[in-house]
Amino acid sequence: MGLASLRVEQLRCLESASLSLAPHLTLIQGPNGSGKTSLLESLFMAGRGRSFRTRMTERLISRGADYLRVVAETVAPAHRIGFEYRREGSYVARLDGRDVETLAELPGAFFVEVIDPDIHRLVEGGPGERRRWLDWGVFHVEPNFLPQWLRYSRALRQRNAALKSGQDPSVWDAAVAEHGEAVAALRAQWLDSLRPTWEQAVRQLSGLEIELGYSRGWSQERSLQEALVEGRDRDRERGSTLSGPHRADISLRWQGGMARDVLSRGQQKLVAAALVLAQLGRLRESQPVRPTLLLDDPAAELDAQRLEGLVELVRSLDCQLVITSLAPDLKLFGNPEQVFHVEHGVVRQI
């Protein structure tokens, strides 16, 4: 699976752009502020329905425009993906001619991941960043994960609504517990299978021995049903459910301390990149689909040794690569099959 073409309208500084992607390596080059990263955002949106830079999609709409539109086509297998987001917050998403009920359906059509200069947020940021990283991998290997997560989310919303309105939330406890336990078990199973690949990747990139842990969102000594019962008074006081997989987190520890507290920003970036590449590597082992990896200025802020490790790891994954660079002749990952120059939001093929 790879991306064959992209058309984008009214996204940040990109008024209108169309490009065809190479099967292996596409280079997007141009000066700072030209729109290179905005193109990567468009590509990422084709697989995730959102940007990797902001959760507020309406902020991506070009100044003075009322909408943004992204249309993409994949190959092997072939899919057509389309979005139109409106400034008032509404959107339409379509996959192969039908409306998409939830954006969670999209990763199955286009398998994309990104490493950008803000990748350290995966280490330094909140638990939601790490849950999204983990869930993206589980989704691709476990067909039952998305249905279980959707059932859990619906039951959780109903329980929270009961808590806020002063009604009895216990009628939802069984459904929350059943589907929440299933979600947590699938996450833990995937993370366990990922550990060997992760350990190799993080050593190669950072030279550090980082402990990867998992907190499922409630005490290991209790079932979720028991945790919901015991925490009911607290939940009523807060007006929301405080136990369950929506509270899960991935822990990253080095020499007894949390990685976000003891590692430098540069080290955090390397550890976060290792998380992304380890998961891609494990997914490549489990299924034949070639993912697309977006690299935003990969040579920035890396010394020669770390950059060599990144290049070696990325090459071993055999992904479709789309790379941005200030340099017009970047050949770290080989000779580009397609090169695009971006300046002032205008994209042209070289």
Q: What is the DSSP string of 271-338?
A: HHHHHHHHHHHHHHHH-SPPPEEEEESTTTT--HHHHHHHHHHHHHHT-EEEEEESSTT--TTS--SE
What's the confidence (pLDDT) of residue 286?
A: 82
d(CA 94, CA 71): 9
Cα–chain-centroid distance for residue 215? 19
Average pLDDT over residues 196-208: 95
Q: Is 330 exposed, middle or buried (0-12, 13-18, 19+ CB in 10 A)?
A: middle
Rounded CA-CA distance 21/337 in Å is: 9
pLDDT bracket for residue 330 (50, 70, 90): confident
Q: Dihedral through CA 49, CA 50, CA 56, CA 62, nearest 10?
A: -90
Alpha carbon of residue 69 to chain centroid:
20
CATH of domain 1-111+290-350: 3.40.50.300
Q: With a cut of 80, say whether residue 288 has pLDDT above it.
A: no
Nearest to residue 9, comparing CAs of 42, 36, 40, 34? 42
> Would residue 239 be called left, alpha or beta, if left means φ above 0 and alpha means ψ between -120 and 50 degrees?
left
pLDDT, tens digit, for every residue of 4-32? Answer: 999 999 999 999 999 999 999 999 999 99
pLDDT, position 1: 65
pLDDT, tens digit (0-9, with 9 covering 90-100), for 224-279: 999 999 999 999 999 999 999 999 999 999 999 999 999 999 999 999 999 999 99
Does residue 125 surpass a pLDDT of 90? yes
Q: 249-254 and 257-258 as β-strands: parallel, antiparallel, unpaired?
A: antiparallel
Establish whether domains 1-111+290-350 and 126-264+274-288 are of one fold: no
Q: Which CATH number fits domain 126-264+274-288: 1.25.10.10, 3.50.50.60, 1.20.1050.90, 1.10.10.10?
A: 1.20.1050.90
Residues 45-65 pLDDT 10s: 998 888 999 988 888 999 999
Quote the CA–CA distance of 37 and 315 in Å, as a whole number: 22
Instruction: Yes or no: say if 244 and 217 are a contact pair by the CB < 8 Å rule.
Output: yes
Residues 144-174 have pLDDT tens digits of 999 999 999 999 999 999 999 999 999 999 9
- Closest by CA to 250, choosing from 237, 241, 259, 239, is 259
CA angle 183–186–190, rounded 5-degree value: 140
Cα 85 to Cα 55: distance, rounded to the nearest angstrom: 13
**Looking at residue 216, what DSSP letter applies?**
-
Burial of 77 (0-12, 13-18, 19+ CB in 10 A): exposed
Express each pLDDT in 292-314 by its tens digit: 999 999 988 788 888 889 999 99
pLDDT at 82: 93
Tell me the domain boundaries of the chain. 1-111+290-350, 126-264+274-288
Token pair in block for residue 29? 């080059």
CA distances, 284 to each of 111, 122, 287, 317, 334 (Å): 11, 21, 6, 7, 21
Contacts of 6 (CB under 8 A, 6+ apart): 17, 18, 19, 21, 39, 42, 43, 46, 70, 71, 72
Q: pLDDT grade, residue 76 (50/70/90)?
A: confident
Could you give the CA distance from residue 122 to residue 307 in angstroms, rounded to a whole number?
A: 19
